[in-house]
Amino acid sequence: MFFRMVKGTFIRQKKKLLMIALTVALGASIATAMLNVMLDVGDKINEELKTYGSNITVVPQSSAVISKLYDTEEEDDDAQTEYIKEEKVGELLTIFWANNITDFAPETDTTVTLNNSEVGLVGTWFNHKLEFKKKGSVYTRDTGVINLRSWWDVESGTMLNEQAVSGDKYAMIGRELAEEKNIKAGDIITVSRDGRNEELEIIGVFESGDDDDNMIYTTLSVVQRLTDTVGYIKKIEVSAITSPEDELAIKAAKNPSLLSGDEYDLWYCTAYVSSICFQIQEAIPEASASAIRQIADSEGKILEKTELLMSLITFLSLIGATLGISNLVTSGVMERSQELALLKAVGAKNGQITFLVLTEIIFTSILGTIAGYFLGYGFAQIIGHSVFSSGVEMSGMVAFIVSVLIIFVTLIGSIPAIRMLLRLRPSEVLHGGH
Amino acid sequence: MNKKRKMFIRMIVASLVRRRSRMIVALLAIIVGATILSGLGLIYFDVPRQMSSQFRSYGANIIIAPESDGDVSYEKLQKSITYFPSNELEGYTPYRYENSKIHNMPVTLAGTDLGSVLKTSPYWHIDGELPAKNGEALIGAKLAESLGISKGESVSTVNTFEITGEMESIDIPDYEKYTDPETGETHCDHTLDLTISGILETGGSEEEYIYISLEDVEYLTLSKRGYDIVEVSVASIKDKLSEYTEKISKDIDGIKAKLVKRVTASESSVLSKLQALVFIVTAVVLVLTMICVATTMAAVIAERRREIGLRKALGAFNSSIVGQFMGEGLLLGAVGGILGSVLGFLFAQYVSQHVFSSPITFRPLLIPITIVASVIVTGTACLMPIKSAVEVDPALVLKGE
């Protein structure tokens, strides 16, 4: 009988219940979209912040020497400078947080003679296809400075595409140096060092807005031949997506071995810049990885602010959604006073009526929530694609939060209505007076 | 006419007062809608300003350097600083680099204004203190490690001068003249004693320098000159920054101002994304809230079909019924809009204080916009249900079908 009554309501009161379901669906869709965007905005902004370039540098353990200080001392310096084996670079991708490493590039820099004057030459990967082994299988991955120097403006020529050219005798030149030496894209230059010469074709002239404007960038193998260090590199720049630093990260940064077991696990399994550095050192023992404070700190700060901003906006929209839902539920229930008064008149108990109404409402809002979740999924994707040109990742937790929230809100919304219904006098209502 | 208007107002007010609880519910929906519009609107317009001062934690975004060889004199620096509006200028730090020796190892000294250095390099991690007075120094972590210097220690930096005829006349106490046995030249060592007040960690090339005050550099090198480079941190958008740098480079001879592209290019891309995010979120939330307001109003009016029927039975014209209900709706919309714009401002202020710890910029224009918008939304929302309600047959409604 109970089910027949519920079913009856659904058929007879189609329009009113549809209205409630629609409101619930709208509210649920706001909640779903906002919560998903809020949870994903950190990752999205973090990816955007990657345009600032690398946030970790990896150098040989004992090269903490003054290599850049004196150009004139460079000769002696090279003899002392230690190197990392180039084959070790792939090890970066075997660490726990490997998926958070967005780009990296090994580097060796030196000074060479060009037209009788000394200039800086940097050898690196532009868009190198790296083969690396992980758990026995071999993978490949494209990485290099193309993404790490996203702020470069190529003024003439094009960016060097390693994979599209044959051989390695190519270079990019900084704007100021190009002007000074009157070098244009397409020119062939000869650089020499210690009696070794290399002829390089200039693929493009770039403007970087910093010291790089006076440098030449070329492929790693060219510099390795010039400095007689084939198979070795001086430095790796790494760009990784990291979590904002908190107390645990600050504590760990001083000395990870002082953490308690649980703290250590939590720290190790969180993408703090310090734990990623630590894991890089574990993977490449002869190297020392350190955070570039300018990038790492600011990223943390901006992320934190963005997430806080989004969570407050989400909070406001959740209030809007819940108020809308409870409003509609209240008026939806109240409209049915006549029918319910009739039930009372034929002898239904208050408990029975309440149960009946609640079942109907909750059933309706479950349908509404399901529809709203998918609607919200759509909204989240629209937001993701129009702002970040990539979809927003849906979190299972959101589905759970939204359903709990909606059921709760629906129940709260029904309370005033039900209280009013219980006070109804059947005779008055049925007679038609209010 | 006057009587009619009086009656009209009395009817609206009476209806709102009698049906208090339902009206409060409807009003609440409108208020929330208006709050979201004005609150998110304020935030949307303020985000670039607020965020761009957050982005200043990346440090300087403009550098002023000498055009060719030479330096940036104090006067030129002061003149160029006037090109930045004072509410946008976060700080500027001049640097003067000199070579010197500690423990016979070559080092680079950076003379700077240690009081303002953290404004242009907020990311510096200092183990210890910033030097508070002359004779104290901040040493880069890498340099400290290679020299074996720790915090609190005293070191001496030594500059060696070749004594020329002119200089021999200068008499400064800590000169020690000696003659190089190989070349036969006379040299003197000028020594500056420094106490290391802190160790600097940045992960960048700053770790390879020693930072001391500009006066100490002048004392050590016995020379007074301008700066090699000046870092400026300005909280502004990219277009304005390039405007400032172009003007400075054009107006002041011998120096050029440059954007730190790495910082400015990336900042504007992130900032525009962020603003777009707030915009689209506001739009989506607003559309959904409007639908909520509309459905609430529709429900409120649908409930009153019986009242409409009664009035029609008593001989009311359709137009006067529409007028009354629209009047009620618009009044609700206006009241909701006013309350909502106040609440929205409070919300935006709270967000701003909480997230950015600075007050929000008040935009008076948003108040009328919010009120007008909520009146329009409520009015449109009432229109449909009123129309269908007016078409009812009084007899049917009053009988209770």
A50 assigned to some structural domain: no
A210 contact B CB<8A: yes
- If you measure CA to CA, which chain A residue comes closest to B108? A69
Best to test chain B binding among A15, A29, A297 (most B CBs inside 10 Å): A297
CA–CA distance, B30 with B339 (Å, rounded to integer): 9
**Predicted local confidence at residue B10, as pLDDT:** 79
Residue in A293, A295, A327 closest to B201 by CB: A293
Q: Do residues A166 and A74 both lie within one domain?
A: yes
CA–CA distance, A169 with A172 (Å, rounded to integer): 11
pTM of the model: 0.73
CA–CA distance, A64 with B146 (Å, rounded to integer): 7
Residues of B in contact with A308 (CB under 8 A): 354-355
Residue in B39, B261, B302 closest to A316 by CB: B39
**Predicted local confidence at residue A431, as pLDDT:** 64
Residue in A26, A309, A387 closest to B292 by CB: A26
CA of A3 vs chain B CAs: smallest distance (Å): 25
A137 assigned to some structural domain: yes
A296 assigned to some structural domain: no
**Among A258, A291, A324, residue at a domain's last position:** A291
Q: Do residues A374 and A406 both lie within one domain?
A: yes
**Predicted local confidence at residue A211, as pLDDT:** 82
Residues of B in contact with A338 (CB under 8 A): 400
**Among A247, A270, A291, residue at a domain's last position:** A291
- Contact map slice: A 6-45 vs B, CB within 8 A: 19, 22-23, 26-27, 29-30, 33-34, 37, 41, 44-45
The structure tokens listed for B169 are 């006349």
Question: What is the per-residue pLDDT across B215-247, written as a single tens digit (0 to 9) for each?
Answer: 888 888 877 888 988 999 988 878 888 899 999
A·B CB contacts under 8 A: 215
Question: What is the per-residue pLDDT across B102-141, written as a single tens digit (0 to 9) for each?
Answer: 888 888 889 999 888 888 888 888 888 888 888 899 999 8
- If you measure CA to CA, which chain A residue comes closest to B301? A331
Q: Do residues A238 and A106 both lie within one domain?
A: yes
**Predicted local confidence at residue B244, as pLDDT:** 92
**Predicted local confidence at residue A64, as pLDDT:** 41
CA–CA distance, A123 with A108 (Å, rounded to integer): 5
Distances (CA, A) of A360 to A18, A65, A276, A326, B183: 12, 75, 53, 15, 104
CA of B1 vs chain A CAs: smallest distance (Å): 33
Evaluate if residue B174 carries a pLDDT over 60.
no
Q: How many CB atoms lie within 10 A of CB B183?
A: 9
E strands, A76-195, in order: 84-85, 101-114, 117-124, 128-134, 137-143, 153-157, 170-174, 188-193
Q: Do residues A145 and A285 both lie within one domain?
A: yes
A34 assigned to some structural domain: yes
B350 contact A CB<8A: yes
Q: Do residues A264 and A371 both lie within one domain?
A: no
- Residue B398 pLDDT level (bands cut at 50, 70, 90): low
- Contact map slice: B 157-216 vs A, CB within 8 A: 201-205, 208
Q: Number of folded domains in chain A?
A: 2
Among A213, A383, A209, A37, residue whose Cα is nearest residue B267: A209
Q: How many CB atoms lie within 10 A of CB A249?
A: 18
Residue A252 in 3-state DSSP? Answer: helix
Residue in B201, B208, B262 closest to A209 by CB: B262
Query: What would the DSSP string read from start to end of A108-131?
Result: EEEEEEETTEEEEEEEE-SSEEEE
CA angle B58, B64, B69 (to 5 degrees): 135
Q: Do residues A166 and A147 both lie within one domain?
A: yes
- Contact between A294 and B26 using a beta-carbon 8 Å cutoff: no
Intervals of chain A under pLDDT 70: 1, 10, 12, 62-81, 331, 334-335, 427-434
B55 contact A CB<8A: yes
**Predicted local confidence at residue A238, as pLDDT:** 92
- Residue B93 pLDDT level (bands cut at 50, 70, 90): very high
Residues of A in contact with B258 (CB under 8 A): 209
Residue B127 in 3-state DSSP? Answer: strand
Q: Do residues A256 and A394 both lie within one domain?
A: no
Name the more confident of B26 and A206. A206
Q: What is the mean pLDDT of chain B?
A: 82
**Predicted local confidence at residue B164, as pLDDT:** 55
Q: Do residues A124 and A158 both lie within one domain?
A: yes
Q: Do residues A346 and A387 both lie within one domain?
A: yes
- Residue B399 pLDDT level (bands cut at 50, 70, 90): low
A201 contact B CB<8A: no
**Predicted local confidence at residue A62, as pLDDT:** 63
CA of B289 vs chain A CAs: smallest distance (Å): 7
A340 assigned to some structural domain: yes
Asked whether the beta carbons of A199 and A181 are under 8 A apart, the reply is no
- Contact between B289 and A309 using a beta-carbon 8 Å cutoff: no
A414 contact B CB<8A: no
**In sequence order, which residues have a C-beta less than 8 Å from that of residue B160 and are 6 or more positions away?**
B101, B187, B188, B189, B190
- Contact between A209 and B299 using a beta-carbon 8 Å cutoff: no
**Among A257, A291, A325, residue at a domain's last position:** A291
- Contact between A68 and B205 using a beta-carbon 8 Å cutoff: yes
Question: What is the per-residue pLDDT across A376-408, written as a single tens digit (0 to 9) for each?
Answer: 888 888 888 888 888 888 888 888 888 888 888
A247 assigned to some structural domain: yes
Q: Where are the alpha helices (DSSP H) in A346-425?
A: 350-388, 396-423
The whole domain housing A140 covers 55-291
A115 assigned to some structural domain: yes
Q: Do residues A411 and A390 both lie within one domain?
A: yes
Q: Do residues A90 and A197 both lie within one domain?
A: yes
The structure tokens listed for A52 are 């600032």
A105 assigned to some structural domain: yes
Q: Do residues A10 and A80 both lie within one domain?
A: no
Residue in B146, B260, B277 closest to A66 by CB: B146
Residues of A in contact with B43 (CB under 8 A): 309, 313
